[in-house]
Amino acid sequence: MGKTVTAADAIAAIPAGATLMIGGFMGVGTPRRLIAELVRQRKTGLTVIANDTARPDCGIGLLISAGLVRRLVTSHIGTNPETQQQMLSGRIDVELVPQGTLAERIRAGGHGLGGVLTATGVGTVVEQGKTSIEVEGRRYLLELSLRADFALVNARRADHIGNLTYALTARNFNPLMAMAADVVIAEAREIVPVGVIAPDDVMTPALLVDQLLASDPLHG
């Protein structure tokens, strides 16, 4: 059964205050049409889980500049001064997470795990307020898993039932996020007939994808 939708219809189903995982790595692999539609429909009070917030005029940075994000879980904000200013002024609650830890927390959420143990951050400010566990004489932090109401991912190619492939650094977070959300909305640069994508090339299977749209705005 086909899963293709318009950007407007996909975003209309996202309520204000939702928790979103948004793929991408400094804008690469970010679903730009979906982000633009979030801004157009003024979806406020969002919690966003993402690697970064790119720049004020790019990718997730557009949500920050529009004042739509209430809480942010991310690995860094160094390239977006608007995010920094909103954090310092208290307009956004920002949880900074080491990049590898962020990826593993999302992976844990997608695999039904309660969390992961990591030595990253032991003895630093990252440790504050977290449970510490000793294993064979070494101390680890318990980092809780992450899940979201919606995952917005960007694929290099999709077929009409929703099998996805990714290119380059778009693989860093998109496939993990597609496992860790209740609803997955995929934006693809190219949508091809079923069978064009070889089974061994599928990185996110169609079973996980709920809705699909093309990156090209001419497709609706």
For residue 95, give every residue at least 6 positions away whose Cβ sits within 8 Å of its Cβ, in sequence order, or none: 71, 72, 73, 74
Could you tell me the CA-to-CA distances from 19 to 31, 109, 115, 132 in Å, in that order? Answer: 16, 14, 18, 27
Largest CA distance in the chain: 59
Rounded to 5 degrees, φ, ψ at 208 are -85, -15
What is the full per-residue pLDDT of the chain (220 aa) written as tens digits?
468 999 999 999 999 999 999 999 888 899 999 999 999 999 999 999 999 999 999 999 999 999 999 999 999 999 999 999 999 999 999 999 999 999 999 999 999 999 999 999 999 988 999 999 999 999 999 999 999 999 999 999 999 999 999 998 899 999 999 999 999 999 999 999 999 999 999 999 999 999 999 876 544 4
pLDDT score recorded for residue 220: 40
Q: Which fold has domain 7-115+145-219?
A: Glutaconate Coenzyme A-transferase (3.40.1080)
Q: Where are the chain's structural domains?
A: 7-115+145-219
pLDDT score recorded for residue 87: 97
pLDDT score recorded for residue 2: 66
User: In 3D, which of 155, 150, 151, 153 has the Cα closest to residue 201?
Assistant: 155
